[in-house]
Amino acid sequence: MGPVVAPPRSWVLPLCLIVLAGTASATGSGFYHVDGVTYYMATGEMQGASATVGGAPLAFEGCGWAKMRPDNDHARIQVYGLAAGVPVEVDFTQFDDGRPDGGVAWNTTVSGAGARVPAAVAAWGAAQLYVGGTLYPDPTTRGELYNATFFVVGDEGDERMRLRLSPGPGGPAAPDTWSAARPAEGAPYFPPSESYREVFLIPNMRFGGNGTLDIQTDGLGLAQDNNLTFTLRAPGGAVVTRQYAAPSLAQSGPLHAEFPLDRFGNYVLEVEGRVSLSQYEVAFTQEAPSDFELAFQWDSVALGSAARQARNDCQDQVGSTSGEVAGSVVTQSEPPRYRWLPVVAAVVGGVAVVLAAIKLVAMTVAAVGHQRLAKR
């Protein structure tokens, strides 16, 4: 069995207290038999699915299912679907073996919200969350395990299924910071280009927390030679913030934006515009949320052998959830490449000519002035 985890703190119909636990009735709803072995199975169907994060609605299309053996503590509970268009899975296989019932209780009651509600089955323990096919650590602790609570309640023919994830063991983790500086590869400044563009993908690893974007620009040329736009998009494409910069010898400085990290998936930073003898650095900081609660609910539940077919049907509806979260930095459009030595030499040479001309003019003006003074 898995590690002992603390019971969850609160939820709609929370599993705050388990009492009057009994044994499973192998002839009740949800049970079926295969090769002389009795199983219990329940599937939450897509048409009755919903989800919340911290009590706020989260767009969710997907299913949940539980398969258990009433004669022992073998069980598996899973969720699979799309949360705001991003593949999400929950794998709940570690149950609290510190309890006499091994973390799975049959014919029990769950109490909360001032009422005691009968439950055909309830379970609690530890689960893992996957986003885009990749393990998604607890946003508050960075641990791999979440506290998990599961139960099926309601009268026969009107069952409802619930699964809730809350922070696992451990305290708040330090913020995550991603950064990038351009130009890369040791070049000090961009060569002239009218159409610079680069795109960065930054996975949101602190769902429910807060993010900040800091931008620092610098340049050696004129303001009209540099015109950069920094656009940050949330997963799904909505613009979070858009910042503008025209770095030059006369002006440079920081840009700053703050926003909630309220979507699973990759945030996209697009940088584009005109560049000439300029540079920039960006930093994306993700602060952990003070708490985290991800809850799935199904108000349409299939039981027993019907649950097996419902699960297969839902998997066909949802499709594959085996995508991968992209790396922290992906360049979709490379900046123009130049042979730096000739470019730098040409630029330095040009600057030297200009400075020499200015110096010659100054010397000529000074000489004329001295001649006029000498004639007086």
In tens, the pLDDT along 205-245 reads: 999 899 999 999 999 988 889 999 999 999 889 999 999 99
DSSP code, position 331: -
Identify the residue whose tokens are 């609570």: 149
Instruction: Give pLDDT tens digits for 243-267.
Output: 999 999 888 779 999 999 988 889 9
pTM for the full model?
0.73
Residue 277 contacts by C-beta under 8 Å, 6 or more apart in sequence? Answer: 189, 190, 191, 192, 219, 220, 221, 225, 347
Instruction: Give pLDDT tens digits for 80-94.
Output: 999 988 899 999 999
List the single range of 11-15, 39-43, 137-141, 161-165 with lowest mean pLDDT: 11-15
Local confidence band at 128 (pLDDT 50, 70, 90 cut-offs):
very high
CATH class of 176-287: mainly beta
Which CATH fold would you assign to the domain 18-171+290-318?
Lipocalin (2.40.128)
Which pLDDT value is given to residue 375? Answer: 45
Mean pLDDT of the 62-79 span: 88
Phi-psi region of 18 (alpha: psi -120 to 50; beta: other; left: phi over 0): beta
Which pLDDT value is given to residue 28? Answer: 54
Are residues 304 and 41 in contact, defined by beta-carbon separation less than 8 angstroms? yes
What span, in angstroms and rounded, lies between the C-alpha atoms of 201 and 178?
10
